[in-house]
A and B are shown apart, each in its own frame.
Chain A
Amino acid sequence: MKMLRLLLALVAILAVSAAISAQAPMPDDNTLVIAQSVDIDGWEPSEVNSRPEANMINHVFATLYEITETGVLEPNLASGISYSEDGKEITFTMHEGLTCHDGEPLTAEDVAYTFNRAGDDANGFTGNTAGFVFDSAGFIRAEAVSELDVTIFVERFQSVNHGLLSEVFIHCKDSYEAMSLEEAAQSPIGSGPYKYVEWVPDSHTLMEKFEDFLPREAGFDRLVWRVIPEASTRVAELIAGNVDIISNVVPDQADAVNMSGVAEVQAVQGTRRMYVGLNQREQYNDSEGGRAIKDSAVRVALQYAVDVPTICATLLGTECDRMKSMVNPPNDNPNLEAYPYDPVKAGELLDAAGYPADDDGARFHIVFQAGSGRYLNDANVVQAISQYLTDVGVIVDLQMMDWSSEFVPALRQHNVGPLYFVGTGGGTWNAQYDMADISTPTGATNYTEWSNPEWFALRETLADPSLTAEETQDIVNAMLEVMYNDPPWLFLYFQPDFYGVSNRVDWQARRDEKVIVYKAQLAM
C-alpha cells in the first residue's frame, strides 16, 4: 500500500505545489535580463556558497559597506565606522529611516540579530558568512548599543575586518525570527535595492525595484536572472536579444558576439589568482617529483618553464600580466618582476639543482592533478602547462578529476598534487585579504603546507593596530619577496573574466567577479 500512498502524495503535491509560474520575462525598457550558468540553491542570506548566488542575493540584501569596483569601501546601510582602542570592537552607525522589504524598520538591533543568527551554531550555516568571514575576522558576537549603533566584537585587530564584515548580508529581526530555516530559504525578505518576487529553480528569478531603498538609486524596474548552463546557448540568447548580460563567455566565442552588432564582449582582468600548487607535504616524499619540489631551487626553476603570456593570448583570449606574487595589483610589491618564460634557464637551474636530463630529455616524473569545468578554459590550460613542463624535462602525469566530488574534497584535506591547479578569489581593496590564504603552515587554505618561517614571523608583526599604512605595506612587501624567492606556487595569472553585454544596456563589468547591475541603465 506504500505504492498507493506514494501515488496519492504525488497527485496531492502536484496539485498544491503548482505555484503560478509564468515564463521568464523578456527584456524591455524597464526589464534587465541577466543569464548565469548556475542557479541559487536557496535564499538564506547567511548561507551563500558561490559567486552566482552572491550576485543574486546581493541585489535583494544590502551590506553595511560596499566595495566599489575600484576597491574603495563606501557606506551602504551603514553611514560610518569606528574602532575601539585595541581594535577589537568595531562599531557601525546605521542610516536613519531604513526599512526591510516588508516595511519593518531596519535598525542596529536588526544588524546585531543578523550577525548573531549567522554565527549561531544551532543554525548550522556553512556559507561565506559563517564559514569564511566570521572565521577570518575572528567574530565573537554583535550587540546593538543604541538605536543606530551596532558593535561587533572580534578576537583581534586586522585591517581587513572592515571589508570582511561588509560581506554580511543584512536582514530584519522580526521577519526572520518568525520564519523557520526552511521558510527563510524559500521566501526572502530583503533589505536591498530589489525585492524578491518569484523564483523558478533552474529557470529564472524575478526581482522588482524596492522604491524605499535609501542608500542607492536603482536603474531598471525589474531584474530577471535566468539560468542557462550551456555556454553556446547563453551566447545564442544574447545575440538573439533575449538576454542583456551574460557571464562566462567562452573566449573563442567572443568574436561571434562582437560581430553580431547586437552585443559586445567585455573582458576584464579578474582578481582570482590562478596558480599551480607545489605541495610540500611529507606524504609526497615517496615520489620522485614530490621530493624534487621540496627543493626551493627546483620550484624557482619551474617558474621559468611555463609561457604564461602565450597561454593567456591563446587559451584565455586576452593579453594578461603574469602574476608575480599572491597579491592583486595595486597592493602588491612594486619591486618584484614577474618570472619571464625562459626554458633554457629553467633547464640550467634544474641541472644545477641536481636534476640533469637523461637521454630522453627526462629529469623527473611528477603527478599533476586538476579539476575541470570550474575555471576559464581550465581543461585546456592544464594540458598546455603539462606540455610546457614536459618540454623542459619534467614529465607530467596529468590527472583530471571531477571538480566538486573528487578534487575539492582532496584539496580541502591538502591531499592533491604534488602539482595541482587552483584559483583563489582575491580582492583589490587590501593586500592582506589576498594573503589570508597562507595564514598558518597547516591553515585550511594553505593547501601546499608551505612553512617558510620568515613569512610567518613577518605575518605576526601585522597584528598591531598602531601600524601606519606605509609600515603595513613595507611588511607586506617583505613577505611577498620571501614568497617570490621560495615559491610555494607556480605563479600563473589573474583570471580574466568575459561578460557579454547587449548594446542596449549601459553597464560596466567589474574585476572581482561580482555582477552588480543596479547601476545599469538603457544606453543613450
Chain B
Amino acid sequence: MSPPPTLPAENPKRSALLTVASAGLQEESVGFAARAWTSLLRARWPLLALAILALTTLMALVGPQVAPKDPNRQELIMRLKPPMTRDADGSIQFLLGSDALGRDVLSRLIYGARVSILVGITAVTMGGVAGSLLGLTAGYLGGRIDDVIMRLADIQLAFPFILLAIMALVVLERGVLSLVLVLGIGQWVTYARIARGETISQREKEYVEAARALGMSRARIMLRSILPNILAPLIVIASFNVASVILAEAALSFLGLGVPPNVPTWGGMLAESRDQLLGGKWWLAVYPGLAIMLTVLSLNILGDWLRDFLDPRLRGTV
C-alpha cells in the first residue's frame, strides 16, 4: 500500500474532508448517554443486572472496610459452622457460616469478589485490547502482516484453550497475575477476528479515504478514525467474555490450577466446597455458587442489551 498523498494546508477541500473524516465519530457522541438510559429504563431486566453488577463492584472496592473478619483468619475448632452461628454472648459470629479451616464465609465472599471481578475485567481488557489492536492492524494494513497475525490466531484457535491454560499455569508461578495472563491470552483471537473483519469493511469507506487524503498517519487513522466505528461489537463481546472468564477461573480452580488457596476467589471457594457436599455443608457451595451465577447472569443480560442497543446486526451471532 502506497503512503497516502499529503495535501497542502490551505487546500480548499480540506475543511470538507475534515467534516467527512469525523462523521463516523459524531454520530456516536450525540445524546448517547441519554439514549442508553432510556433504553435501559424501558428494558428493566438489564437495569436490575446493572444494579447487581454495581453492587458487586462496590463490594469489591470497599471490601476491606465492610468485611466482618480477616478472610484468612482461621479458627480450626470453629470449622464448618452453619450460617447464623452465634458465639457465647449471643452475637452472630458467622453470618454465612465458616469453612473447613474455620474462616468466615461472608468475609471470603466479599474479598473473593475483588479477585474474581479483578481477574475477569483485567483478563478481558488485556485480551480485548491486544486482540482489537492486532485485528485492526491486520485488517487495515493487510498483506504480510495480516497473514502473520491471522496464522497466529489460527494456531491459537486450533490449540484447545484449556490445554494451553494448563500448560502455562503448570509452568508459571501460581498467582493472580499468571491467571490473568493466561485467561487474557485465551481471549485475544475473538477480538482480533472481529476487529479485522470490521476494519476491512470500513477501510474503503469515504471517511477513511478522507482521513488518508488529509495525510493522517496510519496509526492515527486506525486509532482515531476506524477504531471508534468498530468498537460496538467488541464491547458487546467483552461483556459476554467477562462471564466466561469467571467460569474458566472456576474450572481451573477445580483442576488445582487456580490462585493459591489462601487467596479467596468464588471459583476457588466453590471448588473447595466439593469435599463437603456429601457431608451436607450446603452453605460452602451455595453462597459462592450464587455469587458466580448472579454475576454471570447479570453480565449476560447486560451483554444482550448492549448488543441490541449498540449493534443489532450481531443478533444471532453472539
**Which of A162-170, A278-286, A348-356, A397-405 is the interface stretch?**
A397-405
Q: For the complex, would chain B's binding face be called helix, strand, loop or mixed by DSSP majority?
A: loop
Query: In this assembly, does A183 line the interface, its C-beta being within 8 Å of a C-beta of chain B?
Result: no
Q: For the complex, would chain A's binding face be called helix, strand, loop or mixed by DSSP majority?
A: helix
Interface string of B133-160 (1 = CB under 8 A from A): 0000000000000000000000000000
Closest CB in chain A relative to B93 CB, distance in Å:
17
Query: In this assembly, does A384 line the interface, its C-beta being within 8 Å of a C-beta of chain B?
Result: yes
Closest CB in chain B relative to A298 CB, distance in Å:
24
Query: In this assembly, does A424 line the interface, its C-beta being within 8 Å of a C-beta of chain B?
Result: no
Closest CB in chain B relative to A383 CB, distance in Å:
6
Q: Are A252 and B100 in contact (CB under 8 A)?
A: yes
* Residues of B with C-beta under 8 A to A405: 170-171
* Residues of A with C-beta under 8 A to B88: none
A202-256 interface with B by 8 A CB criterion: 230-232, 235-236, 250, 252-253, 255-256
Q: Given A380-B101, A383-B101, does the pair A253, B279 have CB atoms closer than 8 Å? A: yes
**Which of B71-79, B185-193, B215-223, B224-232 is the interface stretch?**
B71-79
* Residues of B with C-beta under 8 A to A256: 278-280
Q: Are B260 and A314 in contact (CB under 8 A)?
A: no
Q: Given A256-B278, A310-B76, does the pair A400, B100 have CB atoms closer than 8 Å? A: no
A315 to B256, CA, bound (A): 19
Q: Are A232 and B275 in contact (CB under 8 A)?
A: yes
Q: Are A235 and B278 in contact (CB under 8 A)?
A: yes
User: Among the interface residues A252, A255, A310, A405, which one has the most CB atoms of the partner chain B within 10 A?
Assistant: A252
Query: In this assembly, does B205 line the interface, its C-beta being within 8 Å of a C-beta of chain A?
Result: no
A383 to B100, CA, bound (A): 11
Give which listed residue, A230, A307, A379, contacts B261 with CB less than 8 A: A379
Q: Are A232 and B278 in contact (CB under 8 A)?
A: yes
A287-325 interface with B by 8 A CB criterion: 307, 310-311, 314-315
Interface string of A405-420 (1 = CB under 8 A from B): 1100000000000000
A398 to B72, CA, bound (A): 12
Query: In this assembly, does A187 line the interface, its C-beta being within 8 Å of a C-beta of chain B?
Result: no
Q: Are B76 and A311 in contact (CB under 8 A)?
A: yes
* Residues of B with C-beta under 8 A to A311: 76
Closest CB in chain A relative to B284 CB, distance in Å:
10
A380 to B101, CA, bound (A): 7
B105-153 interface with A by 8 A CB criterion: none
Query: In this assembly, does B262 line the interface, its C-beta being within 8 Å of a C-beta of chain A?
Result: yes
Query: In this assembly, does A201 line the interface, its C-beta being within 8 Å of a C-beta of chain B?
Result: no
* Residues of B with C-beta under 8 A to A400: 174, 260-262
Q: Are A398 and B260 in contact (CB under 8 A)?
A: yes
* Residues of A with C-beta under 8 A to B101: 315, 380, 383-384
Closest CB in chain B relative to A236 CB, distance in Å:
8
A252 to B272, CA, bound (A): 12
Query: In this assembly, does A266 line the interface, its C-beta being within 8 Å of a C-beta of chain B?
Result: no
A235 to B74, CA, bound (A): 28
* Residues of B with C-beta under 8 A to A402: 170, 174, 256-257
Query: In this assembly, does B277 line the interface, its C-beta being within 8 Å of a C-beta of chain A?
Result: yes
A-B contact pairs, 27 of them (CB 8 A): A232-B274, A232-B277, A232-B278, A236-B278, A250-B275, A252-B279, A252-B281, A314-B76, A314-B79, A314-B102, A315-B100, A379-B261, A380-B100, A380-B101, A380-B261, A383-B74, A383-B101, A387-B74, A398-B262, A400-B260, A400-B261, A400-B262, A402-B256, A402-B257, A405-B170, A405-B171, A406-B170
A-B CB proximity, top 4 nearest = A256-B278, A400-B260, A314-B76, A250-B275
Q: State the B residues within 8 Å of A (CB).
A: 72-74, 76-77, 79-80, 100-102, 170-171, 174, 256-257, 260-262, 274-281
* Extra contacts besides A383-B262, A384-B101 (14): CB < 8 Å: A230-B274, A232-B278, A236-B278, A252-B100, A253-B275, A255-B279, A256-B278, A307-B76, A314-B102, A372-B256, A372-B261, A383-B74, A399-B260, A400-B261
